A = this chain, B = another copy of it.
Amino acid sequence: MKNNVLTPDTRFLIVGLGLIGGCYAQGLSQQGYEVAAIDPNPESLSFALDKGWIKEGYQAPDEHLSSYDIVILCLYPSLVSDWIRDNKPLLKKGAIITDAAGIKGLFVNEVQELLGKDAEFIGAHPMAGREVSGVQNADVKIFHNANYIVTPTSKNTQKAIEIAKEIGELLGFSTISTLTPEEHDRMISYLSQLTHVIAMALMVCEDNESYARYSGDSFRDLTRIAKINDALWSELFLSNKGPLLESIDLFMKQMEEVKKQILEGNVDALREDMRLAKKRRLLFEKPKKNED
């Protein structure tokens, strides 16, 4: 289902060569595209150059920006607007700018306003990650049975939307979807941010170090993501405050309900909710891997 919006000559620039930027560079270069990257850390650039993932590495944006057709911002969400404001004059006329941020509402409107008609921003969110960071841990396979979401607004052209989807296909995502930035942020507050809040609260609420030797898989599963990057996730939580607080409240209301069921010994209500939970959960099984 290639749409052929990209051509073999299309040149990609990754801004921020960490774990996710590294996966983009690896995946796109393996597809035969010319990829470059900007990152202040020379070791990250050397690593990707050695791997053949990028052809050029730059420590800061400069005139070279104007030679890239697609710019992929793999930056902390709070840095996106400023990066556009600072570098807009350097961008190629008609360039497509996309991103990999886990929230969208924070910057999408502002960025589209800033760019005007000179370049087009189309948001995208690769829903994959690892508990380790840095380009040295990048592996495009983490995208291969994961979901990729394109988040167009009414200001986006069909061409830009197709390009964003095509990038998702090139990187091997198994599901490619479209949501508005608002729908995306609402969904992500529930599926991703609430789960991180829970994992963190579960580890913090009890001085549990002596319990480590008794742990079964259920506790390990629920707290794996508590090995959290505190700089990134505090930013994600606070940048999506409204939807996240709503999701927390929904969850807490249900926790109160379960508590009441236990307190009252209401076995029928408990079992009914357990059956509903099980039925719904069966829809969330991991998609079949489409390779390896």
Mark A residues whose CB is within 8 Å of B. 127-129, 146-147, 149, 175, 177, 179, 187, 190-192, 194-206, 208-209, 211-228, 230-231, 233-235, 237-238, 241, 244-245, 247-259, 262-263, 265, 267, 270-271, 273-278, 280-286
Other than the given A220-B285, A223-B284, A230-B274, 20 more pairs (CB < 8 A) read A147-B213, A175-B214, A190-B208, A196-B218, A200-B273, A203-B280, A205-B251, A205-B253, A217-B286, A221-B225, A226-B277, A226-B280, A227-B281, A228-B277, A234-B274, A241-B262, A245-B259, A245-B263, A248-B258, A248-B262
Q: Do A177 and B213 touch (CB < 8 A)?
A: yes
In chain B, what residue has the closest Cβ to A233? Answer: B274
Residues of B within 8 A of A221 (CB): 195, 221-222, 224-225
Q: Do B202 and A216 touch (CB < 8 A)?
A: no
Q: Do B211 and A190 touch (CB < 8 A)?
A: yes
Q: Do A191 and B205 touch (CB < 8 A)?
A: no
Q: Do B128 and A216 touch (CB < 8 A)?
A: yes
Q: Do B251 and A202 touch (CB < 8 A)?
A: yes
Residues of B within 8 A of A226 (CB): 277-278, 280-281
Q: How far is the CA of A147 from the CA of B218 in the complex (A)?
A: 12
Q: How far is the CA of A285 from the CA of B209 in the complex (A)?
A: 12
Of B219, B235, B276, which is within 8 A of A191 by CB? Answer: B219
In chain B, what residue has the closest Cβ to A278? Answer: B227
Q: Do A255 and B198 touch (CB < 8 A)?
A: yes
Residues of B within 8 A of A276 (CB): 203-204
In chain B, what residue has the closest Cβ to A223? Answer: B281
22 contacts between A and B (CB under 8 A): A128-B216, A129-B217, A187-B214, A194-B202, A195-B221, A196-B218, A203-B276, A203-B277, A203-B278, A203-B280, A205-B250, A206-B250, A209-B280, A222-B225, A226-B280, A230-B278, A235-B267, A238-B270, A248-B255, A248-B262, A252-B252, A255-B255
Of B211, B218, B234, B257, which is within 8 A of A270 by CB? Answer: B234
In chain B, what residue has the closest Cβ to A254? Answer: B205
Q: Do B218 and A195 touch (CB < 8 A)?
A: yes
Question: Are A222 and B220 CB-contacts (below 8 A) given A204-B273, A245-B262, A282-B227?
Answer: no
Q: How far is the CA of A274 from the CA of B187 in the complex (A)?
A: 22
Of B220, B222, B235, which is within 8 A of A199 by CB? Answer: B222
